[in-house]
Amino acid sequence: MREVIWILVFELFFGVVALSIPVYVSTQSGVNNEYIISVRSWNEEFWNSLGKLWNMFPTRPTYMMIAKGNFGPEMGFTVSYPDSFRVLVEIRYPVSQMRATVAHELMHVFQFAWIKRYKHLMPLWVMEGLATWYGGKKGTYISPLGDNPFLFWSVDILKYKSYPKSEEAKGEYYSEVYALFNAIDAKIDLAKNFQKILYYTEKGKSWQNALSKVLGENFNEFYSQWRKENLLLISLKFASFWGIWMGMPLFLLVIFFVKRSKNDDNISQDDVEKLEKSYGKEYWKGDDR
C-alpha cells in the first residue's frame, strides 16, 4: 500500500511540473519585452508537445534569454547545468524563424534530460537532427541543402563528434542533418514511431541500430543511398548554374559573329558605288581580273 501511495505522489509531482512549465523567459538589456509574451506562448505549446514525444518532462528549471546578436548558423544554444538549463535565443526575422529556434532549443532541453535519466549517449548528428527537424515542424528553419557538391561531400555528418570549426562547414552540417531527418520522417513518420526508437535505445541499441529497426532496413545503407541521391541533385544544380554563366558569353560571341557576317553580306548599293568608283568595275573580280 505504501508503495502505491509513493507512486501516486511521484506521478502527481511530475504532473504538476509538467503543467507548471518551468521555463523562465527574460530579455537581454535593450531588447523589447514584448517578445516575452510570444516566447512564453510558444514554450507552453512546445513543452506539452515534447513531453508527449519523449514521454517525460525535465525536472530542472529552464532559463531562456532572448538576445540580439549574430550567433551564425546556430541561432541559439542550450547548456545543461547540474541545477538548471540555460538557453539563449537570437532574435530573427521573420518571427517564424525565431519560433523555430525556440522549438529547436527546447528539444535540446528534453534531450539533455533524457540523457541524464537513462544514462545513454546521444550522437551529435542525432542531437541536431532531431532539433532541426522539430524546429522546422514548428517554424521556418532556413537550412536547405545548397548547390555546392564539394562542400556537401566533405561534410559527412555521421563522422563528426563535435561541431565543424568553419562557419561554412557548420552551416552545411545543420543543412544536412535537417535534410536527413526530414528524409527519415518522410519514410517512417518520426513523431509516430519515436517511442519505438527510444525503446530500442533504452534497451542498449545504438541510434543507428534503433533507426534500422524502425526503418525496416540497415540505417547505414539508407544513409549512403540518401547521400548519393542528394549529391547527384546538388551536382546537377551546380552544373546548371555554371553552365548558364559559362555558356552565356559563348552564346553572345556566336550572336556577334553571325550578326557581323550578315552585315558583311548585306552591303548597301551606295557602298558598292563608292567601291567601284575608287577601284573600278573590275574590283569585284578579285584575283581573277
For the segment 118-135, what is each residue's pLDDT rounded down to a tens digit? 998 899 999 999 999 999
Q: What is the mean pLDDT of residues 139-166?
A: 90
**Considering the domain boundaries, does residue 44 fall inside one?**
yes
**Considering the domain boundaries, does residue 86 fall inside one?**
yes
Flag the least confident range among 4-13, 85-94, 253-262, 263-272: 4-13
144 vs 148: CA distance, rounded Å: 12
User: 76 — phi, psi (to 5°)?
Assistant: 170, 170
CATH number at residue 76: 3.40.30
Reduced to 3 states, what is the DSSP secondary structure of residue 122? coil
How many domains does the chain contain in total? 1
Q: Is the dihedral of CA 28, 84, 181, 39 positive or negative?
A: negative
State which residues form the domain around 37.
Answer: 1-119
Q: What is the mean pLDDT of residues 266-284?
A: 62
94 vs 269: CA distance, rounded Å: 66
Q: How do beta strands 85-90 and 76-80 pair?
A: antiparallel
**Considering the domain boundaries, does residue 31 fall inside one?**
yes
**Considering the domain boundaries, does residue 230 fall inside one?**
no
Which of 46, 112, 44 is closest to 77 using CA atoms? 112
Q: Give the DSSP letter of residue 63.
A: E
pTM for the complete prediction?
A: 0.77
The rounded mean pLDDT for the chain is 84
12 band by pLDDT with thresholds 50, 70 and 90: very low
Find the angle CA(126)-CA(132)-CA(133) to the nearest 5 degrees. 85
**Considering the domain boundaries, does residue 60 fall inside one?**
yes
Instruction: Report pLDDT for 285.
Output: 58
**Considering the domain boundaries, does residue 150 fall inside one?**
no
**Considering the domain boundaries, does residue 205 fall inside one?**
no
**Considering the domain boundaries, does residue 18 fall inside one?**
yes
Q: What is the mean pLDDT of residues 219-233?
A: 96
